[in-house]
């Protein structure tokens, strides 16, 4: 299937509601299960990634019940049920959901049954070895079914972990110390943070830690569950998590704010069409790193002098390591901004749902824009007059599709191949895009 985007005929000036945060949704559900309490999650994301996480937790023994609401956005009741006692040998299909397979890999170490984790072809070339190495050093038996350091992999019950859960007796003074490289993915750290209160961990960071805002998010969310994570001297070099109990608020409710990554698309469309968009369900004090997109990109690229010629000015040299998902939206905007931009800090984009730097370079060149990429950077020579329509190869990556849809609102004949890939995080994206043009 191919979708041709019709350019917008007027500036977009709207207040817009975006889907719930994927990052928060896929943290809250496993934490709710680990809390061993009854928890209600409201405003969560309804998408393939969220469904993969919920289905996996249910297969592992949790009870998750949908509660319909008048708003049309379901609440979810989460109960631990037999999560810690289920001895079934199971297989979990994680699709191409990086958060799911990484968070679940650590969670499976707490199970009393054997678990195999697998996914799509792309998932099978996304490395998991750094996380598995840490778990193995803690005494977990993990076998790679095909290629070492990559899914599919099988996790066997570990007495060290299951006994910690069975015999929990409050704070443990001695922490198990492990080392983990910070250069590949912050999600490996989040995965370990989730299970650390059950066993007590000291995590020493080797190399510089990428995507620090996602670490901050996890620490804040776990604080809501009563868990204290010590970021020693606030330097992201050592994290200490003592053995401790999860707690929940008296209401038992957790609300998911809007997805800051998804918000970048309407914000960018507002900018590129010469309008202005406000996201109504993204708080000013958001937990999400991508919430800084407006400050770091939109506000800097807005041309206050002459919006009729080109509403954009280039970013010049900028480091967007802290907002890697939002960086894709910045990249397409820079393709339309007349002038030179170099964006650095993008090494993690090589290991996402696709090689995102390669995908951006390939598609921008198709549209007539000069681009150069390296291991962790992209250089763009934007040209609003030279840019033209093209068939956009999404590489089964939702963010590639939605980013280039932004250009389609001002450039004729932008054709998105495989537009259905947006179901991963933003199922209503194409319907919403049409609403934004009105």
Task: Please state, as a whole number, how many other Cβ atoms lie within 10 Å of the Cβ of residue 437.
Answer: 16
Torsion angle, alpha carbons of 218, 221, 226, 230, to 10: 30
pTM of the model: 0.93
Same domain, 275 and 299: yes
Residue 250 forms part of a structural domain: no
Q: Is residue 420 part of a domain?
A: yes
Q: Domain boundary at 220, 244, 268, which?
A: 244
Is 276 in the same domain as 396?
Answer: yes
Across the chain, what does the average pLDDT equal?
Answer: 95
Q: Are residues 179 and 272 in the same domain?
A: no
Binning pLDDT at 50, 70 and 90, where does residue 161 land? low
Each residue's pLDDT tens digit, 350-405? 999 999 999 999 999 999 999 999 999 999 999 999 999 999 999 999 999 999 99
Predicted local confidence at residue 174, as pLDDT: 80
**What digits encode the pLDDT tens for the residues 214-252?**
999 999 999 999 999 999 988 999 999 999 999 998 899
Which residue among 210, 244, 278 closes a domain? 244
CA-to-CA distance for 337 and 332, rounded, in angstroms? Answer: 9
**CA atoms of 271 and 410, how far apart (whole Å):** 11
Which residues carry out catalysis?
325
Centroid of chain to Cα 386: 33
Dist CA 181 CA 183 (whole Å): 6
Residues 172 and 34 in one domain: yes
Residue 251 belongs to some domain of the structure:
no
Q: Which of 179, 212, 244 represents a domain boundary (last residue)?
A: 244
pLDDT at 311 (0 to 100): 74
Average pLDDT, stretch 154-162? 80
Whether 249 is in a domain gets the answer: no
pLDDT-above-90 percentage for the chain: 90
Is residue 137 in a domain?
A: yes
- For residues 279 and 391, state if they share a domain: yes
3-state secondary structure (DSSP) of residue 397:
coil
9 with 72, same domain: the answer is no
Q: 413 lies in which domain range? A: 2-19+257-437
**Three-state secondary-structure class, residue 419:** helix
Residue 195 resides in a domain = yes
The enclosing domain of 319 has a CATH number of: 3.65.10.10
Q: What mean pLDDT do residues 286-309 have? A: 88
Q: Is residue 151 part of a domain?
A: yes
pLDDT digits (tens, 9 = 90+) for 176-220: 999 999 998 999 999 999 999 999 999 999 998 999 999 999 999
Question: Are residue 302 and residue 408 in the same domain, yes or no?
Answer: yes
Residue 110 within a domain:
yes
Q: Are residues 277 and 234 in the same domain?
A: no
Q: Are residues 189 and 333 in the same domain?
A: no
Which residues are 240's β-sheet partners? 202, 230
Tokens of 424: 């991963």
Overall domain count for the chain: 2
Within this chain, do residues 145 and 272 fall inside the same structural domain, yes or no?
no
Both 110 and 188 in one domain: the answer is: yes
How many angstroms separate the CA atoms of 263 and 285, rounded?
15
Mark whether 240 and 368 lie in a shared domain: no
């Amino acid at each position: 299937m191919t979708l041709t985007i019709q350019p917008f005929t007027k500036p977009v000036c709207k207040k817009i509601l975006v889907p719930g945060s994927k990052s928060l949704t896929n943290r809250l559900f496993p934490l709710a299960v680990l809390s061993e309490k009854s928890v209600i999650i409201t405003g969560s994301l309804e998408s393939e990634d969220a469904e993969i996480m919920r289905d996996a937790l249910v297969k592992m023994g949790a009870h998750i019940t949908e509660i319909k609401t008048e708003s049309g956005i379901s609440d979810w009741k989460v109960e631990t049920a037999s999560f810690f006692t289920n001895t079934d040998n199971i297989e979990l299909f994680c699709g191409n959901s990086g958060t799911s397979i990484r968070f679940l890999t650590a969670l499976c170490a707490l199970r009393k049954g054997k678990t195999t984790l697998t996914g799509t072809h792309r998932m099978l070339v996304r490395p998991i070895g750094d996380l598995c190495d840490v778990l193995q050093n803690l005494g977990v038996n993990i076998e790679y079914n095909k290629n070492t350091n990559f899914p599919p992999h099988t996790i066997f019950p570990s007495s060290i972990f299951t006994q910690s859960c069975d015999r929990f007796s409050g704070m443990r003074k001695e922490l198990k110390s492990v080392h983990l490289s910070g250069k590949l993915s912050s999600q490996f750290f989040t995965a370990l943070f989730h299970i650390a209160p059950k066993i007590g961990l000291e995590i020493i960071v080797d190399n510089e830690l990428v995507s620090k805002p996602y670490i901050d998010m996890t620490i804040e969310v776990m604080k809501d569950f009563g868990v204290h994570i010590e970021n020693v001297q606030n330097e992201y070099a050592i994290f200490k998590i003592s053995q401790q109990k999860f707690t929940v608020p008296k209401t038992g409710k957790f609300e998911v704010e809007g997805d800051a990554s998804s918000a970048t698309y309407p914000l960018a469309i507002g900018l590129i069409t010469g309008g202005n968009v406000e996201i109504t369900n993204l708080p000013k004090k958001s937990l999400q790193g991508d919430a800084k997109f407006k400050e770091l990109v939109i506000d800097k690229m807005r041309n206050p002098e002459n919006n009729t010629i080109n509403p954009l000015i280039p970013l010049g040299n900028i480091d967007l390591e802290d907002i890697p998902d939002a960086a894709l939206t910045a990249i397409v905007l820079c393709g339309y901004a007349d002038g030179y931009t170099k964006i650095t800090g993008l090494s993690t984009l090589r290991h996402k749902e696709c090689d995102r730097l390669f995908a951006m370079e390939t598609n921008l060149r198709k549209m007539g824009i000069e681009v150069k990429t390296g291991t962790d950077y992209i250089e763009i020579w934007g040209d609003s007059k030279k840019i033209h329509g093209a068939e956009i190869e999404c590489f089964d990556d939702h963010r590639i599709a939605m980013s280039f849809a932004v250009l389609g609102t001002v450039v004729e004949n932008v054709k998105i191949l495989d537009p259905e890939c947006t179901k991963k995080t933003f199922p209503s994206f194409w319907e919403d895009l049409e609403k934004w043009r009105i």
